[in-house]
Each structure stands twice: as C-alpha cells, then as structure tokens.
Amino acid sequence: MAAFSFYLSLSVVAWLCIFSVSSLSDHESFLRCFSSHVSPTANLSQLLYLADSPDYSSLLFSSIQNLRFASSETPKPLLIVAPADEFQVQASVICCRSHGLPIRARSGGHDYEGLSYRSEKSSSFVLLDLEKLRSVTVDVEHGVAWVEAGATLGELYYKVAEKWQNTAHKLHEDLLLRVDIVHVNRGDRRVVEAAFKSLFLGHCDGLLQHMGERFPALGVERNDCREMSWIDSAVYAAGYTNGEPAEILVNRELQPKDFNKGKSDYVTEPIPVSGWEAIWARLSEEGATGSMHMDPWGGRMSEISESNIPFPHRKGNLFIILYLSTWRDEGVAASTKHLGWIRSMFRFMTPYVSKRPRAAYLNYRDLELGRNAMAWGERYFKDNFRRLAMVKGEVDPQNFFSNEQSVPPFIAETGERPPINYIL
C-alpha cells in the first residue's frame, strides 16, 4: 500500500510538471479540444482520467495482466482516455495529436511486453483504453462477427457459443493436438512432463478412431476423452477443469495476474531425436523455470497464402513454440532468474528452429528481438513487412501511432520497393 501511494504522488507531480512547464493553458486547451469534438452531453469525468483522479489507478491496473509492468517503476500515462463511442476515439486522436501527446491504445490488455499501456519511447503519453468498446455481434446467417476492439477473447467465445447450436453441426470435423512441456509436482519430486492436449470437433468415438489411425503410439483411450460443448472446451482450455460455467469467460476479475515473459519460434524441419533429448535434459535441469508450448500448424493455415493478410506464417511450418516463464515472487532476483532462463533457452534452440529469418509471432511480443525494425520486421511479417511499411507511409506518414515495435512508415520517392534496411 505504501508503494502504491508513493506512485500516486509521483504521477501527480509528473502531471503538474508537464502543465506548469508548458503552462496551464495547454491543459485548458486540451480540455477545450475534447469538449469541442465530443457530444455536448458527454460527461468528461467519465472520459478523461488524470493521474490524480480517484479512478485512475483502478482503471490503469484493471487489465494489466503481467505484473512485470505493474510496478512503481513502470512509466504511467499522464492521462487515461476511455472513449465510449467512435467519435470519442476520434476526439482522442485529434486532441492528443494536436497537443503533441503520443498515445498507446489498449484493448483487452494483452501484450507480452505491455506496449499497449506503457512506453519506453516517451516519458509522457496518453493511454487510450478501449474497455468500454467491447460489444460483440454475431450474424450466423452471413457467417460474420463484429467485435469491438476492447472485447476479450473470452467475451467473443461466449457470444459465439450463444450461436453455436446453429452452426456446430455444419462444422467440418477437425482435430487439434498441442503439446505442453511443463514442470509438475509428483509426490515430493518436481518432474518434467509432456501433456498432449487435443481439441476434436466431434464425438469421442471419432477421436478414438482418428487417433488410432493417425497416432496409435499415443495410446489414447476412452478415459482420456471428455465430451463437452465447444464453449466448455474454451473454459477447460483456460484452466478451469472442474465444470465451471461459461460465464467465467466474461468475468474480467478472474484474469490471472503474474509476472511473465514469453518468446516464440517456428519449426520448419523436424527436430531430430538427439535434439529432443537435449531439450528434455535442459528442461529437467535444476533451475529450469519455464515451459514450452507447441501448437501444430498445417490444415487451414497452410491453405492461405503468405501475402493474403499481414500474418505471414503459413505453409512450411510444422509448429510454433511458445517459451513461457511465469513467476509470483516480486523483486529483481526472481525476475533476473526467470528472464535469464528464457533467454538462454531461446539461444539453445537456435539450431532447431526457422532461420533467415528466425520467425516470431507478433502476439507473443518480444522486445528482446530489438527495437529497430531491421531486427524484427521480417521475423514477425516476412515479405509483408515491406508492404506494411508502404501502407503505413500512406496512412500515417508522421508515425503518430507508434510504439517500440510498430511498423515504421516508408515513403517511396520513386515508387520502388523499400529496402529492408532503410534507416528508421
């Protein structure tokens, strides 16, 4: 609690400095800007949260899931704007831009490096929190869902499930089989275990037949199989395995909070048995603190071309790896230990994973890939990076919407393709 009030008073000081340095008229002009761009009936105290407003902290921390970025050292926004409609979003962009305030936009709060609500680039920034824009509309007949940016995946699943009974029988039977390599306690021993988890769209009989034909070595039996509705499978996959109701998905209070760090890799060639033995040995070492989660590629992912949408990781990938370290202990010692482990695991995996570029998944954001787009552009986006930089040059040449790893604008003078190594 002491640290909390310390942080609060710091934020107030920061806010006062800004407006005493650049004069209070800036503050007033900022508010005037908002008033002139939103409906006259809008209540500004439900839209703008200054650091000294009573709801600032609860709003800021409400969707910070990674405790690494919830400490007093994490830079805090000068102001949180929580728009309730698209006009208020526009007003936020217009007014922040005209007052030279960079913004960070936060949806559900998921970003492995917290870039949706913190900034290393600028000491003063505004957080545009989309938590009020969370409606989900599902149109089964046309196969379309409209999802506002502030909705969580749980809220989307919940809404889709409401419509599920109309669509389930039309779905093609399919099977997803993932592997989680994790540490578990067996009696008084801590052991490494590979857990095969599968989602099969169909009945248990179909799954047993499928697995018997395609993967008999796993020896799947009827006991391993639990029939449930698709929405219950989403609850189950989220770790609620005791028959908790689907409503758990729309309860934002339950989102787990811990300290964590993730990294990703794609695998394009099977890892040899000797490689798996080495990986296993490394994960079993004393002091190995993280886990490895592998999701298969293929299926529909391989049918879509790399250039169809920005996400490029398609045909040719066998699976994706998420390396994840999560911890509960506060303090530098614990984070040094966990970050050290995941970095060394990532180095160790180099011979086994994709190369030139060593591909990475944007949603498993990793600032350690580098701040400069030369370092991460092709890893996250492959050849699409050039196109994205050109689109960015068209729509946001001033690079107003930016963070430590956002696509920089490329402004082509002669219409040629931008080189990957242009100076940012």
Ligand X SMILES: *[C@@H]1O[C@H](CO)[C@@H](O)[C@H](O)[C@H]1NC(C)=O
Q: Is residue 380 annotated as a catalytic residue, yes or no?
A: no
Complex with ligand X: residue 43 or 274, whichever CB lies closer: 43
39 counts as binding ligand X under rule CB under 6 A: no
Q: Which residues does 244 contact at the CB level (< 8 Å), separation at least 6?
A: 235
Nearest in space to 319 (alpha carbons), one of 271, 363, 270, 267: 267
Under rule CB under 6 A, residue 20 binds ligand X: no
User: How far apart, in whole angstroms, are the C-alpha atoms of residue 99 and residue 181?
Assistant: 49
Q: Please, are residues 147 and 156 in contact by the beta-carbon 8 Å criterion?
A: yes
Q: Which residue's CB is nearer to ligand X, number 39 or number 302?
A: 39
CB atoms within 10 A of CB 277: 10
The active-site residue out of 112, 266, 352, 364 is: 364
Q: How far is the CB of 87 from ligand X (least distance, A)?
A: 18
Under a CB-based contact definition with an 8 Å cutoff, are residues 151 and 136 in contact?
yes
Distances (CA, A) of 377 to 12, 380, 416: 37, 6, 18
Taking CB positions, which residue lies at the least distance from ligand X? Answer: 43
Within 13 Å, how many C-alpha atoms sit on residue 288's CB side? Answer: 21
DSSP code of 238? T
- Residue 179 has φ and ψ, to the nearest 5°, of -125, 130
Nearer to ligand X (CB atom), residue 42 or residue 160: 42
Would you give the distance in Å from CA 281 to the centre of its chain?
30
* Residue 229 found at the interface with ligand X (CB under 6 A): no
Question: According to CB under 6 A, which one of 25, 39, 45, 251 is a site residue for ligand X?
Answer: 45
Q: How far is the CB of 41 from ligand X (least distance, A)?
A: 9
Task: Kindly state the smallest distance separating residue 370's Cβ from ligand X, in Å.
Answer: 43
Query: Which range binds ligand X by CB under 6 A, 43-51, 113-121, 136-144, 239-247?
Result: 43-51
Taking the complex as a whole, the smallest distance from the CB of residue 52 to ligand X amounts, in Å, to 14
Q: Which stretch binds ligand X (CB under 6 A): 39-47, 123-131, 309-317, 372-380?
A: 39-47
Q: Report if residue 46 touches ligand X, rule: CB under 6 A.
A: yes
Take residue 52 and report the two structure tokens written for it. 């000294």
Given candidates 3, 43, 188, 414, which one binds ligand X under the rule CB under 6 A? 43
Using the structure block, give the residue that is written with the tokens 């944007």. 362
58 touches ligand X (CB under 6 A): no
CB of 83 to ligand X, least distance (A): 15
CA distances from 32 to 3, 84, 88, 252, 406 (A): 34, 18, 14, 34, 30
- How far apart are CB 162 and ligand X at their closest, in Å? 31
Q: Which residues are catalytic?
A: 364
Binding site for ligand X (CB under 6 A): 43, 45-46
